[in-house]
Amino acid sequence: VVTLAHDETTPAASTLTVSETGIVPHAPDIAFVSFGLETASKSLADAQKRNSTVMSKVMDRLRDLQIDKERIQTSSFTVSPQYRPPSNRPTDVSPASPEIIGYVVSNMVIVEIRALDKVGTVIEEVLKAGANSFQGLHWGLREEQAVRLSALKQAAAKAREKASVLSEALHVKLVRVLSVNEGGQVVRPAVAMARMAMEASAGDVPISSGELKIEATVTLVYEIAPK
């Protein structure tokens, strides 16, 4: 993106705006798996008890896989009443009060996995232990900030180079940098969640971490003057 601008309030101030993006690919070194259990029953106490029993087995399986408890975090715990559908009633009759016919208890956790060769095994084992909701897998970097700074440095260098080339082509000189703006994102490889869950339940979990791309964008606004 290149913009030439002239500030009408300050006739002598003309600007050149350039934007560039730096991209640093990096192999992930950490994974986050999100899964849990939903149990339904007419009795809330029974739904909670069944949920607790199965989740205890899941936690035991994670400990067997040497996943520290500090790496396991409850992401959500909900209780949802289930209501009987309302019956058809004449329009001049007040609607009946909703009737609770059961409850669904949902307990979801996020597990941080640093040994990436265990990711497939973890998914397979928690499903075997009774987890019935697989919500996602995403990859990350423990030192993401350092890689992002490298991408920012790359973007800034490319923006300066572009400004230099353009100033030569336009026969102007770069006086000073008036402003700097930056942004960025991490592009993560897509994971087919539904297919992975089905393959995990069948005992075959093909896991490939792929490559993360850390992107940073730098926009520089220069004051320019004629040569």
Per-residue pLDDT of 49-65, as tens digits, reads: 999 999 999 999 999 99
- 216 Cα distance to chain centroid: 17
> What pLDDT does 208 receive?
74
15: tokens are 């600007």
Structure letter (DSSP) for residue 84 = P
> What pLDDT does 139 receive?
92
**pTM attached to this predicted model:** 0.72
> What pLDDT does 194 receive?
45
Amino acid at 61: R
- DSSP secondary structure string for all residues of the chain: -EEEEE-TTSTT-EEEEEEEEEEEEE---EEEEEEEEEEEESSHHHHHHHHHHHHHHHHHHHHHTT--GGGEEEEEEEEEEEEPPPPP--TTSPPPPP-EEEEEEEEEEEEEES-GGGHHHHHHHHHHHT--EEEEEEEE-TTHHHHHHHHHHHHHHHHHHHHHHHHHHHTEEEEEEEEEEEEEEEE-----HHHHHHHHHTT--------EEEEEEEEEEEEEEE-
Please give the average pLDDT of every successive group of 10 residues along the chain, which has 227 residues: 53 86 94 96 96 97 94 96 79 73 97 93 94 92 92 97 96 95 79 50 62 94 93
Question: All domains of the chain, ordered by start, with CATH?
Answer: 2-27+144-188+213-226 (3.30.110.170), 30-87+97-140 (3.30.70.2970)
CA neighbor of 221 nearest in space, from 21, 22, 18, 20: 18
Distance CA 137, CA 87 (A): 42
